[in-house]
Amino acid sequence: MTLTLLLDLDDTLLNTNIDSFIPAYFQALSRELAPHVAPDLMLRALMAGTKRMMENDDFSRTLEEVFNAVFYPQIDSQREKIADAIDNFYDHIFPTLSGVTTPKPEAKPFIDWAFSQGFRVAIATDPLFPRKATHHRLRWAGFEPEQFEIVSSFEHFHFTKTHPAYYAEILGRMGWQEGPVLMVGNDLDRDILPAKKLGLATYHVGDEPTPPSGFESLGWGKLSDLRPWLESADLSALTPSFKSVDSVLGILSATPAVFNGFSREFDRSAWSHKPAADEWCLKELISHLRDTEREVHQMQIELFKEGGEPFIPRPDTSVWANQRDYLHEDCATALKEFNEARRNTLNMLKETPDWSRKARHAIFGPTNFLEVVGFIAEHDRLHIHQAWHTLKKL
């Protein structure tokens, strides 16, 4: 049974002391950009852009795009005009901040052991920093970015860690594999609670001997305690449960973000690649998701607006790929249309307060609204898994 480990970075694998590091980072960046932007103006714009990233729930825009849309207008400049100064900062100045941090001596032995066990390991750091900055911090902790299956940064993620959708996005980018998952971090509000809302098992890294009231069910201890904790644990008990409203909504929000991320990593030819003659290419898969969203999922949600216990049909959509000639769809257009359809679905769900409303499903029999919407999330996960395997075969 393969465990997927999602590991926070700052003050989990690296002693960062955010209260010292962030001011030092802001001051260094202000000095570097001073010939172009007044330091007080730069600081206000940087904080405004960061705040907007933390609030973002738009799966069609990366956090970098969200940040840039706030930051550059506030400093009355364009990215191209100060690009060289920013690149120089992250290439040469940012690395000098390593002295504000110290590596955790127990981090590397734990990571080496985790890899020796065949665990899948991702760095689930809050994607508020550019990739270069995150990679530098990983090296300060004693690691190379290439060691890990994925490292989140603002160029390719759409949510920050206060959103359960962040955790769904990172698992989606890893292919939504079956099996146990554990989120490990030091921050209750950013690492632990949102991950638990998605349905993940968690382990809080801290010096406190016991968890506070209300958190007794969490894994809890120092990073050095994590290996023996895992060695004594029943890993099957760490298998996620995606049955809550928060988890379902997190998955539904993350799915278009995952496909948007895939589309930025692979050129258009990849979307027409068929792994086998009888399997869908990504273009067909996205077209299927779009049409199913419009014609099946939204129809099912609408039925709940009627009285009584609605009957929920489930049309056979497997024949649509040939009937509708998905192979000759434009992939960018199909993806954009899926984004729009999913946004409409999420808006519809905001208007449905009673998630316990009963119904009868054509396939599953007696059910309720939460379970029906949960079937949509399962459908998402199935096709992300399919897409991930297709891309891995390229």
pLDDT tens-digit map of 96-124: 999 999 999 999 999 999 999 999 999 99
Kindly state the average pLDDT of the residues 159-176.
Answer: 98
**Higher-pLDDT residue of 308, 97:** 97
The reported pLDDT for the residue numbered 287 is 97
| Per-residue pLDDT at 336 exceeds 90 | yes
Whether pLDDT at 393 is above 70: yes
Q: Whose CA is closest to 262, among 194, 167, 331? A: 331
- Distance in angstroms (rounded) separating the CA atoms of residues 307 and 25: 58
Quickly count: other Cβ atoms within 10 Å of residue 160's Cβ: 23
Work out the mean pLDDT of the chain and round it to a whole number.
Answer: 94
Only one residue has tokens 């599953």, namely: 364
* pLDDT for position 216: 66
**What percentage of the chain has pLDDT greater than the value 70?**
99
Alpha-carbon distances, residue 197 vs 189, 204, 245, 251 (angstroms): 11, 15, 9, 11
Residue 252, pLDDT score: 98
Q: Cα(132)–Cα(71) distance, rounded to whole angstroms?
A: 19
Compute φ and ψ for 15, nearest 5 degrees.
Answer: -75, 105
Helices 223-232 and 107-116 meet at what angle, rounded to 10?
Answer: 30
In this model, does residue 81 exceed pLDDT 90? no
The predicted model gives 330-337 an average pLDDT of 95
pLDDT of residue 269: 82
Structure tokens at 327: 């192979």
The residue-averaged pLDDT of 353-369 equals 92
Least confident of 9-13, 176-180, 350-354: 350-354
Closest to 46 measured CA to CA, from 16, 60, 25:
25
Q: How far apart are CA 317 and CA 209, in angstroms?
A: 54
Q: Compute the distance between CA of residue 278 and CA of residue 182 in angstroms, rounded to an integer.
A: 35
pLDDT at 207: 82
Assigned token pair, 101 = 């941090």
Q: Average pLDDT, stretch 326-342? A: 95
pTM more than 0.85: yes
Given a cut of 70, is residue 71 above it in pLDDT?
yes
CATH-assigned architecture of domain 4-14+101-105+120-238: 3-Layer(aba) Sandwich (3.40)
Mean pLDDT throughout 160-189? Answer: 96
CATH number of 245-392: 1.20.120.450
Which pair of tokens denotes residue 256?
Answer: 């278009």
> Is the four-CA dihedral 166, 172, 176, 179 of positive or negative sign?
negative
* Beta carbons of 272 and 394 less than 8 angstroms apart: no
Higher pLDDT, 244 or 76: 244
Q: Tens digits of per-residue pLDDT, 204-228? A: 998 887 787 777 677 999 999 999 9
pLDDT band at 351 (very low <50, low <70, confident <90, very high): confident
